[in-house]
Amino acid sequence: MAKINKTVLGNGVRIVSERVTHVHSVSIGIWVRSGSRYERKAEAGIAHFIEHMLFKGTQKYTACDIARMIDSVGGVFNAFTSKEYTCFYVKVLRQHVDMAVDLLCDIFFRSLFLQDEIEKERNVILQEINMVKDTPDDYIQDMFNHDFFCDHPLGYNILGELDTVQGFSRRDITGFYRREYLVPDRIVIAVAGNIEHDALVERLAAKFESVTKKKTIPAQNSFLPSRSINCNFRSLEQVHVCLGTLGCSHLDLERYTLYVLNAIFGGSMSSRLFQEIRENRGLAYSVTSFTASFCDTGIFGVYMGVVKDTVQEALGIVFDEMRSLREKPVTDAELSAAKEQLKGNMLLAMESTDSRMSRLAKCEMYYDQYIPLSRILKDIDAVTQDDVRELARGLFRDDQLTCTFLGPLKNRDLPRDLLLLG
């Protein structure tokens, strides 16, 4: 039986752990409530840049030392940056926890940000940005986010833009790091695996109690999106389409209804969109719906790649299914299957310590408490056909629909009434 423990240090740093006695591994993550949403426009991409730099050498270890230490024990050491948080994590066998904690804390507090390393990593990140631009099914997501959120920081590319990344100085990078990362009430240390909580706190407290409290600038509030249709011409084999509307935030009481609606609509191989667009008509290899949630807003969207001549037919199916969800109740079989899919995915994820660690951290950041899995499963089971229909009526509206196209398509190629739900 897993046991959840939480300790709040005097400065506000939170340490949460889940002891799982039947596993050999321990996953440890330092999570910071800061990401691309906390950047100013000229800083776009700087949080992601810092993520890279924290692996490039400390006062104690070189970048090569860091890689060899983790490789030598068969561990995993990585990081990622999102819109609202950044995570640095390590996964090792339980007998190597002391080394992992030492290394993780060392890169977090004592990275050198050497100028030579900054220049080398700048080139790496510029290549990463160009790689995404050369991958249309990835790039369309960035373009859609920009169209959906306009100039709001949620619309910034997490990797940044070529001009912003090229312009970062060492002072810019270290200044953002001190401003956004060394803030105790933004830091959550999440650990899952075969480990004792009290021993963990003892190891971490001395390192994190030195972080002093400071005043911070909150992330910019969100807004309600407006209707937007944008064609971006590029000579490609396919037209990549991404369309979406306002979804649910992490705190929205309807979020579980949205997860069910997504599973039915296009979030799985048995979903309506996948079955009709791919299986029945063969119009696309890739078609899916998706959700993205933030602390105060969210997106519900659809992505697909189709040839130019079938854009109208494929979009017609998407809009027909949106209307159907607004006007007719989903079937008992669809509702039951969607719930079982969601519950199964969650339960299977709990078999890995890194997934458990991530769940601990996100619960703490968004809800200030651990949300038992049993409660989430119960909330999913409580979703009704009427709930799905009412949510669809609220989401699928012409006045807040954004649609982005990338490929051999221009605005004049689209019938005026094609993107109207009515």
pLDDT of res. 227: 81
Biggest alpha carbon–alpha carbon distance for the chain: 65
State how far Cα 295 lies from the chain centre: 12
Cα distances (angstroms) measured from residue 97 to each of 28, 144, 194, 344, 398: 9, 41, 10, 30, 53
DSSP string, 114-125: -HHHHHHHHHHH
pLDDT of res. 412: 83
Cα distances (angstroms) measured from residue 362 to each of 87, 205, 288, 316, 321: 11, 21, 25, 37, 32
Quote the CA–CA distance of 70 and 29 in Å, as a whole number: 15
228-413: in CATH 3.30.830.10: yes
Question: Mean pLDDT over residues 392-402, rounded?
Answer: 90
Q: Among 392, 223, 402, which residue's Cα sits nearest to residue 297?
A: 223
Cα distances (angstroms) measured from residue 256 to each of 205, 381, 391, 400, 417: 36, 9, 11, 21, 32
Dihedral pair phi/psi, residue 150, rounded to 5°: 55, -125
pLDDT digits (tens, 9 = 90+) for 61-107: 999 999 999 999 999 999 999 999 999 999 999 999 999 999 999 99
Q: Among 200, 204, 169, which residue's Cα sits nearest to residue 187?
A: 204
User: Which residues 6+ apart lie within 8 Å of 122 measured at CB?
Assistant: 49, 165, 166, 168
What are the structure tokens assigned to 319, written together?
A: 């809009």
User: Which strands make up the sheet holding 228-233, listed edge to edge?
Assistant: 228-233, 402-407, 239-246, 298-306, 287-293
Quote the CA–CA distance of 304 and 319 in Å, as a whole number: 13
pTM beyond 0.85: the answer is yes
Q: pLDDT exceeding 90 applies to what percent of the chain?
A: 90
Concerning whether 51 is annotated as a catalytic residue, the answer is yes
Contact at 8 Å (CB) between 263 and 332? no
Of the candidates 51, 84, 254, 334, the residue annotated as catalytic is 51
Question: Mean pLDDT over residues 108-118, rounded?
Answer: 97
pLDDT digits (tens, 9 = 90+) for 288-326: 999 999 999 999 999 999 999 999 999 999 999 999 999
Quote the CA–CA distance of 408 and 400 in Å, as a whole number: 25
Does residue 163 carry a pLDDT above 90? yes
Quote the CA–CA distance of 326 and 320 in Å, as a whole number: 10
User: Which fold is adopted by the domain 3-208?
Assistant: Cytochrome Bc1 Complex; Chain A, domain 1 (3.30.830)
Residue 278 DSSP class: I
Residue entry with tokens 């078999």: 351
User: Domain coordinates of the chain in residue numbers?
Assistant: 3-208, 228-413
Beta bridge partners of 19: 3, 193
pLDDT digits (tens, 9 = 90+) for 227-246: 889 999 999 999 999 999 99
Burial of 285 (0-12, 13-18, 19+ CB in 10 A): exposed
* Cα distance between the two ends of the chain: 52
Contact at 8 Å (CB) between 8 and 54? no
